Amino acid sequence: MKTIPFIKMHGLGNDYVYIDCFLKTTAELIAKSDLADLARCVSDRHFGIGSDGLVLILQSKVADARMRIFNADGSEAEMCGNAIRCVAKYLYESDLCRDVHMEIETLAGIRALSLHVDNEKVDQVTVNMGKPVIQPDSIQSGMDPIGYTSVNMGNPHAVFFRDTIPQLPANTNIEFVHVRNKKELDVRVIERGSGETLACGTGACASAVAAIYHGLTEQTVTVHLPGGELTIRWDEGNQLVFMTGSATEVFRGTINLEDYEYQHAFSGTKK
């Protein structure tokens, strides 16, 4: 039987199914799997485990671990701020890396993390999200043009300080932001490949950077998301963004890969 263990974790409700590929047998099975198809299966909230996507925790030659992220639609993402905090929590609490300062490799590059540990459990994680790339406000053509700020945090984001939902190009993430005051933002995120999520780490960073860039807030901001709060600090001197937030384990279990194969063969969606 082709079974692999998994762990369900979330960062402010942004939930993923995590698979530990440090385990040799698991790594071998994953290497033979259609990862896009597996991500779609496990993410299904009616017929699967239910999540915003699938995350693989892998060995790395250049960091303490490597993270691969697949959205609910099977597409692979470069980076996820909420997921990387959960990966760090898992690495520490599973004794795969007992350093409170660790590095994790992603498609967007290596990210450095600092873990806040209480009674051997990871409570909060601060992530150096890297340097944001800001483009001048763009205007989407159409009957009702809407300006937005383009911020790349390792993956692309379009940040709107308005309420109207625009028509946007594919392969971007969209943030709608309300400025409460100089220290607080309300943010809702539509993530490419997953739809609206309860939280998005890179989206919170992009929103904070855009707000600071336009002089709407101070350089340290509390971002209120439907799933909770993140603290975002933009060190403009070094051009680095730091995100601090929680990581929570929900449950553990096993995936029977043969069941997923049968399910898709029966439904006609298996290629």
Q: Of all residues in the chain, what percent carry a pLDDT higher than 90?
A: 72
Give every CB contact of residue 45 below 8 A, 6+ residues apart in sequence: 51
What's the burial of 224, exposed, middle or buried (CB within 10 Å: 0-12/13-18/19+)? Answer: middle
Report the half-sphere exposure of 122 (CA within 13 A, side-chain side). 32
Among candidates 195, 197, 140, 193, which has minimal Cα distance to 166?
A: 140
* Letter string b/e over residues 38-47, b meaning 16 or more CB atoms within 10 A of that residue's CB: bbbbbbeeee
What's residue 158's pLDDT?
Answer: 84
- The pTM assigned to this predicted structure is 0.85
Model confidence pLDDT, tens digit, residues 9-61: 999 999 999 999 999 999 999 999 999 999 999 999 998 999 999 999 999 99
- Taking alpha carbons only, the member of 117, 140, 115 closest to residue 128 is 115
β-strand pairing of 53-58 with 146-152? unpaired
The active-site residue, picked from 80, 86, 97, 205, is 80
Task: Give the model's pLDDT for residue 134.
Answer: 87
| pLDDT at residue 261, rounded to an integer | 61
- How far is the C-alpha of 206 from the C-alpha of 225, rounded, in Å? 13
Q: Which of 63-77, 139-153, 185-199 has the lowest mean pLDDT?
A: 139-153
- Using alpha carbons, select from 72, 63, 13 the residue that is nearest to residue 42: 72
Catalytic-residue membership of 41: no
Asked if residue 133 lies in contact with residue 205, where contact means CB atoms within 8 angstroms, the answer is: no
Give the model's confidence band at 146: pLDDT under 50 very low, under 70 low, under 90 confident, else very high: low
| Active-site residue, 80 included | yes
Compute the mean pLDDT over every residue in the chain, rounded to the nearest whole number. 88
The closest of 199, 182, 181 to 190, measured between CA atoms, is 199
The rounded Cα 252 to chain-centroid distance in angstroms is 20
Q: What's the rounded Cα separation, in Å, for the pair 238 and 86?
A: 26
Range with lowest mean pLDDT among 24-28, 175-179, 259-263: 259-263
Higher pLDDT among residues 168 and 30, named by residue: 30
Asked whether residue 124 carries a pLDDT value surpassing 60, the answer given is: yes
Residue 117 and residue 125: Cα distance in Å, rounded? 9
* Token pair belonging to 171: 């392969």
Which residue in the list 41, 86, 200, 205 is annotated as catalytic? 200
- Tokens linked to 228: 């909770």
What pLDDT is stored for residue 171 in this prediction?
Answer: 60
If we measure between CA atoms, which residue out of 207, 219, 211 comes closest to residue 158?
207
